[in-house]
């Protein structure tokens, strides 16, 4: 089905990892941010994360079919793909994870169709001050996970040992600081800086080189700056829902080569 390659995966595994009808696929997580720590490092617990967008079969839109998302983990590859309508719902909420896909540099895309280019070209319709609530909300979640002391189900043995060694989850600490900084930047200039200039510092946090109190102090400072950035932000209060709906319909109809007049209101 797909002719691109992923390291250590054969063609069958690539097609098992990913859903059909992809319009875009790119890196997310540590690879996208430039904070990937290799497995042979004592603190290396990162997978290779991918995110895709696909258009579902027609029965999803005009019948009883349900094709909401696709998640699969094979070897070191962890892929999640969202049906385009669900993707739009997340984008309209300024979800940090999915917003990042629209701001990736070219070299971090595995696959990108003309419909993906159309979506990226119109990414400004999703920009709004709601980013404050989404980025800060995700950051609060990372803070809670970092200090909970619980071994969550997603943790492998290596990550559990690192939590025991440092007394907190360093990876969550790095996510916490990154999310707050990205949110502040976005509220200030309306751009999402996915590839991090502060990558070295974030890697230091992941490797346990920052004390827990240092992370807490920095996050307290950043939470306050995020609130200030929200108050002073020149971004629109809400995304452009009408433009988003029009774009969504255009992508689905072009993919399925449907006549727009059939759906005219």
Indicate the DSSP class of residue 12. H
DSSP H helices, 42-198, are 58-62, 84-92, 96-101, 114-121, 131-148, 157-166, 170-189
Mean pLDDT of 231-244: 98
CA dist 90 and 134 (Å) reads: 10
CA dist 227 and 132 (Å) reads: 8
Which residues is 52 bridged to in the sheet?
25, 81
Assign residue 235 a region: left if phi > 0, alpha if psi is -120 to 50, beta otherwise? beta
Indicate the DSSP class of residue 130. T
Burial of 90: CB neighbours in 10 Å, binned 0-12, 13-18, 19+: middle
Token pair in block for residue 35:
């904070």
- Crossing angle of helices 157-166 and 170-189, rounded to 10°: 90
Whole-prediction pTM: 0.91
Burial of 149: CB neighbours in 10 Å, binned 0-12, 13-18, 19+: exposed
Q: Over the stretch 62-115, which tens digit does the pLDDT of each residue have?
A: 887 778 889 999 999 999 999 999 999 999 999 999 999 999 999 999 999 999
CA dist 183 and 223 (Å) reads: 10
Instruction: Residue 173: name the closest of 210, 200, 198 by CA.
Output: 210
DSSP 198-220: THHHHHHHHTT-S-HHHHHHHHH
Say if residues 216 and 140 touch (Cβ distance below 8 Å): no
Domain boundaries, the chain: 11-124, 131-232
Residue 154: its pLDDT value, please?
65
CA dist 183 and 172 (Å) reads: 16
CATH number for the region 11-124 comes to: 3.30.460
Mean pLDDT of 32-56: 89
CA dist 6 and 8 (Å) reads: 6
Question: Does the structure show a pLDDT above 80 at 178?
Answer: yes
Q: How many CB atoms lie within 10 A of CB 141?
A: 14
Mean pLDDT over each residue of the chain, to the nearest integer? 92
CA dist 211 and 170 (Å) reads: 9
Q: Quick one: pLDDT band at residue 262, thresholds 50, 70, 90?
A: very low
* Greatest distance between any 2 Cα atoms in the chain: 63
Instruction: Residue 212: name the closest of 180, 175, 173 by CA.
Output: 173
Percent of residues, the chain, with pLDDT higher than 90: 78
Residue 151: its pLDDT value, please?
62
């Amino acid at each position: 089905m797909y002719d691109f390659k992923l390291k250590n995966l054969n063609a069958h595994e690539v097609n098992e990892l990913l859903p059909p009808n992809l319009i875009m696929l790119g890196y997310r997580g540590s690879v996208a941010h430039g904070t990937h720590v290799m497995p042979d490092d004592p603190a290396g617990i990162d997978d290779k994360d991918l995110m895709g967008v696909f258009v579902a079969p027609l029965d999803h839109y005009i019948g009883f079919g349900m094709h909401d998302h696709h998640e699969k983990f094979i070897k070191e590859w962890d892929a999640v793909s969202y049906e385009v309508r669900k993707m739009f719902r997340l984008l309209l909420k300024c979800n940090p994870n999915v917003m990042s896909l629209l701001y990736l540099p070219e070299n971090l895309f595995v696959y990108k169709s003309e419909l993906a280019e159309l979506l990226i070209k119109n990414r400004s319709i999703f920009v709004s001050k709601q980013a404050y609530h989404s980025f800060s909300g995700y950051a609060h979640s990372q803070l809670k996970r970092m200090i909970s002391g619980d071994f969550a189900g997603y943790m492998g043995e290596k990550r559990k040992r690192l939590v025991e060694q440092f007394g907190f989850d360093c990876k969550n600490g790095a996510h916490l600081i990154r999310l707050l900084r990205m949110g502040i930047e976005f509220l200030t200039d309306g751009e999402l800086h996915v590839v991090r200039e502060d990558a070295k510092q974030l890697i230091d946090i992941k490797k346990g080189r920052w004390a827990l109190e240092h992370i807490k102090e920095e996050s307290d400072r950043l939470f306050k700056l995020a609130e200030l950035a929200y108050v002073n932000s020149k971004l629109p209060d809400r995304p452009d829902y009408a433009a988003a709906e029009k774009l969504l319909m255009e992508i689905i109809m072009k993919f399925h080569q449907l006549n727009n007049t059939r759906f005219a209101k």
